[in-house]
Amino acid sequence: MMFKKAIAQAPLAFLASTLVAMFFYEFAKAWLSISMIGILLSMLLLMPIKQIVSNFYSKRHFFLLSLSGVFLFLFLPQSDNISYGWNRIELRGALLALCIAFASMKELTKKQFLCLMILYVLLSVSFVTYVLYGYILDFETINQRYLHAQVMPTPLNHVRFSLMVAMAAYISYIIVYHEFIKEKWATILMVFATLYLITFLHIYAVRSGLLAIYVLLIFEVLRMWILQKNRWPMFLLIGVSSITLFTSIALFPTLTNKIKDTRADIITYQNKTYPNYSSLTTRLISFDAAIHQFKEHPLVGCGIGDIKDASDAYFRKNYPTIDTPILPHNQFLFFLAATGIIGLCIFVATFYAPLWFVKARQNKLLLAQYLILGVAFMTEPMLETQLGMAFSIIFILIPLVIDSDSFALLQSK
């Protein structure tokens, strides 16, 4: 009896483990893989395979979402570098496994959903505090780093970390705004977490994270303007955000230095001067490389296995001074170059399929994740790393399995 109860809670436990493992990714990479696989394996212990397969095919939003990774098999045969192509496909294994598992998962109760979200917020606050502590200890040196396309040291890739923090800030905000918790002390803590995380994003001054949090701010402001007669929460939100921005600029030079560095990068790109170690310039060049590959193979691309070799060749030919060529740092351009216009259309149609099969306009957490990913995809190949894939898919799938009580709160106000 105890064993059955433990197995019944295993999917939730592995889901919580996945959230934790994302933050400790650089310390124990296998942990993230084990946690995600554990969600599927625990579901296989809970119900027959036939039922799991039936659920997967009948719930089309999960099935179609999984195809956004599976479709790459179609573009593998045209590749010369089969090994690299398989590596790209293997990364999508987590996407397929999680879609299959979540299609059969029981709805998360309001309590379970809240516990998972608070866990994620607390992890974010803890890691942000660790990063800020290091910043304070080496204040002047780190400020100067921002003039040279660098950021303060973090346990994770700075772009993905900033996006994870942006999501945590939004989660803590909706917990308060939609009254998921009633205790006054807990509400105060969540308000503090929201302001703390947003302030950190300004101090951290990573472009992707800042852009993500302001896109979410615009989303909330527009939603309040259109749907609510009482506009004072909207003005309060704008006011708090403005105060945070100007306070961060006044007290911490990181954001100002990042703006200076960004301007210098743009001038470097426009003048085609020495671009090595210029992060924005290198990204823009990677866009040029992707467009070049698309023009050569407009329908089916250069092949999912050959995208890295093609990008490296473009960098060596046109920018030999750059020490480390990079993949196209735009997820849409990545697919355009690797799989052509056909592959890009398949990806967009399948990856965004949940928006057409659920009440997307009312599921704020789902919409928020797609907005964050929309920002991320513009400057990062998010789905080409294990951590990027895990973060992207987990916060699409969780909103799809919340119960009616949680959904009712998310669609209110």
DSSP per-residue codes, 297-320? STTT-S-TTTHHHHHHHHHHHH-T
Token pair of 365, please?
A: 């957490």
Q: What is the pLDDT of residues 27-36, one digit of tens each?
A: 999 999 999 9
User: Coil, helix or strand for 294?
Assistant: helix
Is the model more confident about 410 or about 76? 76
Rounded CA-CA distance 283/279 in Å is 6
Question: What residue ranges do the domains of the chain occupy?
Answer: 106-271
Is the model more confident about 254 or about 160? 160
Amino acid at 331: Q
Rounded CA-CA distance 53/96 in Å is 12
Reduce the secondary structure of 155-219 to three states and give it as a string: CCCHHHHHHHHHHHHHHHHHHHHCCCCCCHHHHHHHHHHHHHHHHHHHHHCCHHHHHHHHHHHHH
**pLDDT for the residue 229:** 65
Residue 315: pLDDT over 60 = yes
User: Coil, helix or strand for 274?
Assistant: coil
Is the model more confident about 20 or about 230? 20
Q: What is the pLDDT of residues 128-183, one digit of tens each?
A: 999 999 999 999 999 888 887 788 999 999 999 999 999 999 999 999 988 899 89
Give the pLDDT mean for 82-86.
Answer: 93
Token pair of 249, please?
A: 């600029």
**Cβ(49)–Cβ(43) below 8 Å:** no
